[in-house]
Amino acid sequence: MRETEMVSPILKRFVFESANNAPLPSTGAGAHLRLMLKDRERKFRNAYSIAASASDNSTYEIIVRRVQNSRGGSVFLHDHVNAGMILEADFPGNLFPLSQVARKHLLFSGGIGITPFLGYLAHLKRTPAAFELHHFCRAEEVQTFKRLLPASDGGKIHLHPELITQFQLIEALQTQPLGTHLYVCGPEIFMDMVLAAARSQGWPSSKLHSESFGGAHAGGAPFVAVLKRSGIEIHVPEDQTLLEAIEAAGIEPPSLCRGGACGQCMTEVLEGTPEHRDHYLSPEEHAAGRAMMICVSRAKGDRIVLDL
């Protein structure tokens, strides 16, 4: 860790460099970094959007909001991680890239959902591509986000210290040129509103892009997961994800984003009903209940049987 900085009382910036001073892997706009964090009692494998990367691949930057009632990763980073520490991380992944065929990029972000778009903006300012960013935040956070966003934007960047309404959304969506792609990142309720408005106006799924931040990871009622092939039963407590509970039992199923977006952890459901919280399966697949994303989804009842 090269350095850390408190951007605001609840936002902390982390600047990473290689432990052996070698160049870091190249990344693209929208990339994320998955960190392996070890507390005394728990391990966290959390993905964070890369808000900036140096042109010489010497550093990555992430910005993390402290969420007191989260699973603990953000609190651990805020309270225990400082300059000079060595952290374990995967190679960067990218599940939220900019479309290469879009004539215009329309960006909607809420709160800390701005972080992938900071990477977008650094890329877009070097290209002639048209774009428009609308960022929604609390009134008391406007000055913080003003400091994070580029000072000169030609009227393309808009800060809104209030919640967007359905009317405002539809108006913005109806005035876009053909070939525009929509990107949204932020709290689940915010993303659901933006995506629902776009679909109601006939936007095809191929032009809708989203990345989840935290809401899908909220806890729920405890349940038992039966891993049929492994022959074990796992208790999943209210403050732990199904994937985390399976990993704690010594089983390492495929996973990548841990946010219900990439499809890597999709698992067949043999018995029971999933409580779907992902952004990968279609509504028809959700209704069928034959598969689930174990990184974010849970069981509706007290027991579920999986093909693991």
- 192-217 pLDDT tens trace: 899 999 999 999 999 999 987 555 55
Residues 132 and 38 in one domain: no
Query: What confidence tens digit (pLDDT) does each residue in 257-293 have?
Result: 888 878 889 999 999 999 999 888 988 999 999 999 9
96 in a domain, yes or no?
no
Residues 117 and 56 in one domain: no
Beta strand extents in the chain (DSSP E only): 3-8, 11-16, 32-38, 43-49, 52-53, 60-65, 88-89, 104-110, 130-136, 157-160, 180-186, 208-212, 223-227, 232-236, 266-271, 274-275, 291-293, 298-299, 303-306
The per-residue pLDDT for 258 is 81
Confidence of residue 27 (pLDDT cuts 50, 70, 90): very high
129 in a domain, yes or no?
yes
The per-residue pLDDT for 1 is 92
DSSP-assigned beta bridge partners for residue 131: 105
Q: With 80 as the cut, is the pLDDT of residue 67 above it?
A: yes
Q: How far apart are CA 130 and CA 150, in angstroms?
A: 16
212, 241, 266: which is the final residue of a domain? 212
**pTM, to two decimals:** 0.86
164 in a domain, yes or no?
yes
Residues 82 and 118 in one domain: no
Residues 136 and 114 in one domain: yes
Q: Are the beta carbons of 270 and 297 closer than 8 angstroms? A: no
Q: With 70 as the cut, is the pLDDT of residue 72 above it?
A: no
212, 245, 261: which is the final residue of a domain? 212
Q: Which residue has the higher pLDDT, 13 or 71?
A: 13
Range of the domain at 238: 218-306
Residues 227 and 287 in one domain: yes
Q: With 70 as the cut, is the pLDDT of residue 80 above it?
A: yes
